[in-house]
Amino acid sequence: MTEQRQSATLTVRNATLADVPEILALQDRAYPNLPPDLPGMIRGQIQAFPEGQFLVEYEGDVVGWCATFIISEALAMSPHTWAEITGNGYAARHDEDGEWLYGMEVAVDPTRRRLRIGQRLYNARKQLCQAWGLKGVVFGGRLPGYRRRRKAYPTPEEYLAAIEAREVKDSVSNFQMRMGFEPVGVLKNYYPEDTDSLGHASLMVWRNPKFVEMPSAGRRPDPQTVRVAAVQFMARAVESAREFERNVEYFVDVCSDYRADFCVFPEMFTVALLSLEKRRLSPQESIAALSRHTPRFLEFMSQLAVRYNINIVGGSHPTETDDGEIQNVAYVFLRDGSVHAQEKIHPTPNERFWWNIKGGDFVHAIPTDCGPIGVLICYDSEFPELARRLADEGARILFVPYATDNRTGHLRVRYCAQARAIENQFYVVTAGNVGNLPDVENMDVNYAQSAILTPCDFPFARDGIAAETSENVETIAVADLRLDDLAEARRSGTVRNLRDRRFDLYRIVWNDGPGAGRN
């Protein structure tokens, strides 16, 4: 009998969000002495430019990875650092009107060196460059042999010249030159954490031989329109959980009839369920009692999203953690049946004192069929670094469910939400509670005027308000949000807040890791 053997399979494909854990594990293997990327950085890269993120799989294992984005020639060819050019690792400066493909990272499994993985990744970059009609590929290449040879070559320019003259061998630079890349200069202090290169890099360029100069008018126009509906929900006593669910389903039905892509409920809108309690509870007893409704709430809302074919931002609901603490959690129920959770990061002083609410530990963009979105619960919208991280991860719509008891508190949320829309050049949707629950401690009265907010520039509403409700009545606000208007504003608006950030002066470093750039 003839022995049959199945050959090993090796594939190159675009990365997805599901690949993030394996990409991070690969980085650890490839660069054990360099700081790892944050998960949010990888998600930001994929969501900013999915076509530019490549994986190599061998027999089902991720053995290669590279990240790219498009950038203008002026930025690519001028002196820069890795943090400046990549937007601190999120590919936040991706510009589809740019002329060059920028390589921000390459990682190859050190145990799989003979599979030509690096060659495949560099070829994928070249093919992408040609498919998009760009001038070429450019990146900052490591100089890992420079530290050992610094005495002989005191400056990185001298060391790079010695490589080009073949006086010395540098494993990374020699490979890149064999792949057709030409060193055109030195990027000083490009990536300080790369001690083998003493922080420096060579500016490597591959010029597309098929490039033809054409007027730039946006290479991938995206006329996608997303319809959103913000529910200004009335707090009222109910006789049963089913009565509360009928009230909620009514608004989901209305939003679905309007063909909305998103239906947004307010923060803590489930407090009406406390009217089912037989006695008046203390604030901490109330939150504990409300958290017991979590399993039924999650199942019910997920079924609504699927049945009405609509994505639901389920306001927020107190949820007990595995260690017995209570967190205020926004659940996002997508129409494909998946459920995502976003914890409130900053409980207010009242929430901490009366309800013993604990703050969460993460904020991430959520992938949806309308693109990545972000959720910040009420007080979190008053902390600009959270919204900026969501923007860097690709969010173009930020949802802010909120609950305030007077006009002063409402305006804090409203003004900060408008600021977040301007500084991040994305849409912000707020949804608040109205009405009252006399027997519920610390949630007895409500004040709201829900709104759908835009950046303040010519493509948008004159006052930056796409839609808003009347104050303190139960109703909805509906608006169509054009994502291509956001892209145009970020690219060529009167102001360009995201693009014009001074990455050379400041950056936010999150506690889950500093990030890295490797080529």
- Write the DSSP string, 239-252: SSHHHHHHHHHHHH
**What is the chain's pLDDT, residue by residue, as a tens digit (519 residues)?**
333 434 457 899 999 999 999 999 999 999 998 888 889 999 999 999 999 999 999 888 999 999 999 999 999 999 999 999 999 999 999 998 899 999 999 999 998 877 889 999 999 999 999 999 999 999 999 999 999 999 999 999 999 999 999 999 998 999 999 999 999 999 999 999 999 999 999 999 999 998 887 654 444 444 489 999 999 999 888 899 999 999 999 999 999 999 999 999 999 999 999 888 877 888 788 888 899 999 999 999 999 999 999 999 999 999 998 888 999 999 999 999 999 999 999 999 999 998 899 999 999 999 999 999 999 999 999 999 999 999 999 999 999 999 999 999 999 999 999 999 999 999 999 999 999 887 666 667 899 999 999 999 999 988 999 999 999 999 999 999 999 899 889 888 999 998 888 888 888 888 764 444 567
CA distance 380 to 385: 10
| 425 closest CA partner among 96, 93, 70, 39 | 93
Distance set, CA 17 to CA 53, 55, 338, 339, 397 (Å) = 11, 12, 14, 15, 18
Give all strands (DSSP E) within 111-243, no chain letters.
136-142, 182-187, 201-207, 225-235
Q: Residue for token digits 């102001």? A: 495
| 91 closest CA partner among 506, 502, 495, 498 | 498
pLDDT tens digit sequence for 175-228: 999 999 999 999 999 999 999 999 999 999 999 998 887 654 444 444 489 999
Give all strands (DSSP E) within 363-495, no chain letters.
373-375, 397-402, 427-435, 451-453, 465-468, 475-482
Give the chain's end-to-end CA distance (angstroms, integer): 49
Which residues carry out catalysis? 267, 344, 378
Distance set, CA 277 to CA 267, 292, 326, 408 (Å) = 20, 12, 19, 31
pLDDT tens digit sequence for 68-84: 999 999 999 999 999 99
**Both tokens assigned to 427:** 């849409």
| 261 closest CA partner among 176, 361, 369, 168 | 369
